[in-house]
Amino acid sequence: MIQVEHLTKRYPGRTAVDDVSFSVGRGEVVGFLGPNGAGKSTTMRILTSYLPATAGRVTVAGHDVFADSLKARREIGYMPENVPLYDDFRVKEYLHFRARLKGLRGRDCRQRVGEVMDLCGLTDMRKKMIGTLSKGYRQRVGLADALVHRPQLLILDEPTNGLDPNQIRQVRELIRHLGEKHTILLSTHILTEVEATCGRVIIIDHGKIKASDTPEVLQQRLRTAGAIEFEARAPVDDVAAAVRALPQVRRVLSDPMEEGWHRFIVRVDTGSDPREEIAALIAAHGWPLREFIRKQASLEDVFVELTQNQ
């Protein structure tokens, strides 16, 4: 559905997107993840042909977004960051205007506007002025606008930005529902969002792609870079010395707790799993043990690791 080849976008004195290539297949829900200023919005603006690329080629549904821009735009439902809307329109009126602009006519247009208002929970708000709507409802109007011309591809730039937790859940629910029928590319800097909604994650930072995989695989890849945690009643120095003697262990941290108990956090090398050895050590010394867990790296750890280590 989306083909991006060697996309580069340079602004004067700054490279926003640097030789990025990726593709999104039909029916996929892909999350575009990166810190603020990583080049997410720029990439999306190029995909929707709002901005030109400095170099590289982008096709959407087989249409080049620059040479064949109008055709490409018809296939895309785009919701820009912060959802720009005309405040002096009523919800229904605005959606009607947008639907006609995107080529719907007559009865089909009225019907479709009714459908998307239903889908986005806007039916009760249809007569409200957009300027009086809350942020959550504005977001829904933007989403309804993106959907109204039955596009194959939805591009959503920070769809849950600035919403309260309830609204976030509602919008995510909606996106998940839409993902059953549409190809979706959404950007976010919120990790749980990607875990909740996306089948695949593209992590981008400083205009470069750092990783592209399913959330599960990404977590697995870094899982072992996580930690083993246990609580034991033992002298800190003895435990630390014994555990540190193991070849896979990088660091041992400890927190004192009540009555001689300590919580130990053991950082281990990537790809290793010394749980057996640690357990054997503890057993051999006869230290009382009351908890023993392996902390799985969350997507957040993956993200921090990928975007800060360079």
Q: Write out the residues near other proteins by the rule CB under 8 A.
A: 10, 45, 48-52, 54, 70, 73-74, 76, 78, 80, 82, 84-88, 97-98, 100-103, 145
CA distance to 91, 95, 159, 239, 247, per residue, from 79 (Å) = 16, 13, 8, 55, 51
Closest to other proteins by CB, 50 vs 287, is 50
CA atoms of 146 and 94, how far apart (whole Å):
12
CA atoms of 154 and 175, how far apart (whole Å):
10
CA distance to 33, 88, 209, 303, per residue, from 25 (Å) = 18, 38, 18, 23
Closest to other proteins by CB, 12 vs 247, is 12
Closest to other proteins by CB, 51 vs 202, is 51
Closest to other proteins by CB, 69 vs 272, is 69
Quick check: 186 and 198 in contact, CB under 8 A?
yes
Least separation, in Å, of the C-beta of 19 and other proteins? 15
b (16+ CB within 10 A) / e for 280-295: ebbeeeebeeeeeeee
Closest to other proteins by CB, 102 vs 294, is 102
Closest to other proteins by CB, 88 vs 216, is 88
Q: Enter the tokens of residue 95.
A: 């959606």
CA distance to 2, 127, 242, per residue, from 117 (Å) = 27, 11, 64
Neighbours of 252 (CB within 10 A): 19
Quick check: 39 and 206 in contact, CB under 8 A?
yes
Least separation, in Å, of the C-beta of 102 and other proteins? 6
State whether the Cα torsion 177-48-79-216 is positive or negative: positive
Least separation, in Å, of the C-beta of 63 and other proteins? 11
Closest to other proteins by CB, 82 vs 298, is 82
Least separation, in Å, of the C-beta of 104 and other proteins? 11
E-strand spans in 200-288? 200-205, 208-213, 227-233, 249-256, 261-268
Quick check: 281 and 240 in contact, CB under 8 A?
no
Least separation, in Å, of the C-beta of 70 and other proteins? 5
Least separation, in Å, of the C-beta of 78 and other proteins? 5
CA 279 to chain centre: 37
Closest to other proteins by CB, 84 vs 256, is 84
CA atoms of 146 and 48, how far apart (whole Å):
12
Least separation, in Å, of the C-beta of 179 and other proteins? 21
Least separation, in Å, of the C-beta of 56 and other proteins? 12
Tokens 């709002």, located at residue: 50
Least separation, in Å, of the C-beta of 251 and other proteins? 47
Closest to other proteins by CB, 80 vs 114, is 80
